[in-house]
A and B are shown apart, each in its own frame.
Chain A
Amino acid sequence: QQQVKQSPQSLIVQKGGISIINCAYENTAFDYFPWYQQFPGKGPALLIAIRPDVSEKKEGRFTISFNKSAKQFSLHIMDSQPGDSATYFCAASRGSGTYKYIFGTGTRLKVLA
């Protein structure tokens, strides 16, 4: 019940295309869903996050879509660029106590020039 399942494991997209990464969770107590971007040899950096009271959040080319009834959320990268090539992790946490994250297994994105 604590897992966050992420797919696909890897993704290749042409420059200008849309990259879509999906995550599913089981624990309905989760109330915070961030996405992190990680470049090789670096620590993950927060990209965008959403709470379950909204169905979509957009920041620039990055959009999170959230489906509370299906317990799924996804990251959409519009107009994907070679500089977006990185590993993306979704996560889920409860907004109290330890604020521990449960991370997905990651998606390695490659955007072809």
Chain B
Amino acid sequence: SQTIHQWPATLVQPVGSPLSLECTVEGTSNPNLYWYRQAAGRGLQLLFYSVGIGQISSEVPQNLSASRPQDRQFILSSKKLLLSDSGFYLCAWSAGEVKNIQYFGAGTRLSVL
């Protein structure tokens, strides 16, 4: 069966520090991968998506970047965090014959202080 792992679950970082959040998917190949951000009490904003290794599309201009070094690994990064980067970050995947269905990880709660 397929599973998705996100870590860390919680992160507190000072303004100006770097960021690296990792997401891995098991049990499937060539998934579409997605990074979302959810502000407190708000909806889900798509940040990046990837349809293959090294293929990254950005949805909104921001202080973040994404990379996909391996088929089932998706990394969200920042060189210098801003206060506005605080939020709940979610990774999702879809694959197979039903690529419409996205499955979400447990998320990372990021607080930038």
Binding site for B on A (CB under 8 A): 32, 34, 36, 41-46, 49, 89, 93, 95, 98-101, 103-106, 108
Contact = CB atoms under 8 A, between A and B. Distances in A.
Interface of B: 32, 34, 41-44, 46, 49, 51, 57, 59, 90, 92, 94, 99-107, 109
B90 A43 contact: yes
Contacts of B57: 98
A95 B100 CA distance: 6
B103 A103 contact: no
B101 A46 contact: yes
Contact of B44 (A34, A41, A98, A103): A103
Contacts of B44: 44, 89, 101, 103
B46 A32 contact: no
A105 B46 contact: no
Given A43-B104, A43-B106, A46-B103, A99 B32 contact: yes
B49 A98 contact: yes
Contacts, number: 53
The SS class assigned to the B binding surface is strand
B46 A101 contact: yes
Contacts of B92: 43
A86 to B, nearest CB: 13
24 contacts: A34-B101, A41-B109, A42-B106, A42-B107, A43-B90, A43-B92, A43-B104, A43-B105, A43-B106, A44-B44, A45-B104, A46-B103, A49-B100, A95-B100, A99-B32, A99-B99, A99-B100, A100-B34, A100-B59, A101-B44, A101-B46, A103-B44, A103-B46, A106-B43
A99 B94 contact: yes
